[in-house]
Chains A and B, each alone.
Chain A
């Protein structure tokens, strides 16, 4: 039928343009000045502290450096993810997107991937500075576990950005969504303690609730390879890959939930 098809038109998956403009949006915002500032903070503080700890300079620089990288990407990641869609609703730029032949889930995935690309770039930039710092000031050598711990930081971001984005769609308030994401981050690192509490507590109801919380929240300690760099045998790589796959699936679950909420959303 003439009205159904329009010539010179393709209607494939529309994720890429959304991801690209998200990247552009970030590149052209001021976030990169903050990145530079953070690189200075990272370099400065790690050098100062390492000078106070003879024989453990490389360890101190590594620890502070990776902590800085993680905290910086966490803060920028949560902030960006939470405002990703809410800002577009508030600015009403969403109207012009949602009236295009674009599935709502494509929009969510595109925005999500765009932020991840930016975070990945930030991690790689800061990591390069860190490696340079270590090479120049100590007799440090690059170990596979160091690389894996940086990869695991990125996978933590894959999870927390999905959580933050979905929280923003469910709560439609950036403050609530940020608080939720932050709480998830903290409890996710505390999860082995949660399990221990669940095992020890007497009350059946409290036990159930604690177990539910324990399994609902991602176990970020599994991804926390940077804390385990001191362990000679490290984490076996088959477990690392299992954990990373778990991270991807966990993020996917949240994205499905987010997309479901978003598909019912009116503007």
Chain B
């Protein structure tokens, strides 16, 4: 059974300007399968529908047509959220809580039992290297540290699938390296990882397969395991897919 399955998923955004509705496409007829243990990257320009896809899978948005599954749960489903961990783009946290408190809070919400919780928090704080700062309030945290808190909260309930939206956007080189090694460690632990990015060089370092999304449509799926010079080849494929025809030669 695939960990994530998307069938003909469509999302149209409606916005009202002076009572007149205006429509814009979020994603259109998206089909996708991600196998258990796989690291899948969604690559696309800004506004191409990466975040929309993830939000639909998490039940933050509701699809207009088509359906999506997390294992055998048709989303949105409360049970499916036990199986997924999510880190949104540039996440915000309650600044008045400490790292320890916030991870405990999300653990409670996910139903992690009281007796296991502290052990799990210790373990995860160790993994994201925040043990020494656990009692500091998040207001005092740097961007990189906050991102690590974000990873920690996504892991507290030991989910099978992780959704990382624009994981490294806005981080400094140290932060980027940290995040990359964290993702690789999670990969070793056989987690299914679904991430989105517009940075090709990062995607090739961690992903098994990449889906290229353009204006809400998944135009190509590339298996990186079959490429030799991943970076260069993926870039070429991406540009030829994303650029309007005629401009490829110019670049």
Shortest B17–chain A CB gap in Å is 16
Q: Which of B71, B81, B109, B110 has the most CB of A within 10 A?
A: B109
- CA of A95 to CA of B106, assembled, Å: 12
CB-CB under 8 A from A234, the residues of chain B are: none
Asked if B143 is at the interface (CB within 8 A of a chain A CB), the reply is no
Is B230 part of the contact surface with A, judged by Cβ < 8 Å? no
Q: Does A236 contact B (CB under 8 A)?
A: no
Contact between chains at B60 and A95 (CB < 8 Å)? yes
User: Given A3-B1, A3-B83, A266 and B97 touching (CB < 8 A)?
Assistant: no
B82 touches A11 (CB 8 A): yes
For the complex, is A205 an interface residue (Cβ under 8 Å from B)?
Answer: no
Cα separation A3 to B80 with both chains bound (whole Å)? 9
State whether A98 touches B59 (Cβ < 8 A).
yes
Q: Is the interface of B mostly helix, strand, loop or mixed?
A: loop
How many residue-residue contacts, CB under 8 A, span A and B?
Answer: 96
| Pairwise interchain contact B72-A4, C-beta atoms closer than 8 A | yes
A6, A93, A102: the one within 8 Å of B94 (CB): A93
B60 to chain A, nearest CB (A): 5
Q: Which residues of B contact A17 (CB under 8 A)?
A: 105, 108-109
Contact status of A99 and B92, CB under 8 A, knowing A3-B83, A6-B82, A9-B157: no
Binary CB contact string for chain B from 82 to 122 against chain A (1 if under 8 A, 0 otherwise): 11101010111110110001000110111111001000000
B76 CB to nearest chain A CB (Å)? 9
> Contacts of A24 on B, CB cut-off 8 Å?
96-97, 101
A267 surroundings in chain B (CB, below 8 A): 55, 60-61
Q: Is the CB of A96 within 8 A of B86?
A: yes
A9-67 interface with B by 8 A CB criterion: 9-12, 14, 17-18, 21, 24-25, 28-29
| Contact among B83, B88, B111 for A95, CB-based, below 8 A | B88
Whether B58 is near chain A, meaning CB under 8 Å from some CB there, is yes
Report B-chain residues with C-beta under 8 Å of the C-beta of A96.
Answer: 86, 88, 91, 93, 106, 153
Instruction: List A contacts of B110 (CB < 8 A).
Output: 9, 100-101
Residues of B within 8 A of A (CB): 1, 55, 58-62, 71-73, 78-79, 81-84, 86, 88, 90-94, 96-97, 101, 105-106, 108-113, 116, 153, 157-158, 160
Q: Can you offer 26 A-B residue contacts whose CB atoms are under 8 A?
A: A1-B72, A3-B72, A4-B72, A4-B79, A6-B82, A6-B83, A8-B113, A9-B110, A9-B112, A9-B157, A10-B113, A11-B82, A24-B97, A92-B90, A95-B60, A95-B86, A96-B88, A96-B91, A96-B93, A97-B109, A99-B86, A100-B106, A101-B81, A102-B109, A103-B78, A267-B55
Known: A11-B78, A102-B109. 17 other contacts (CB 8 A): A3-B1, A4-B71, A6-B83, A9-B111, A9-B113, A11-B82, A21-B94, A91-B92, A96-B88, A96-B106, A98-B58, A100-B81, A101-B78, A103-B78, A266-B61, A266-B62, A267-B60
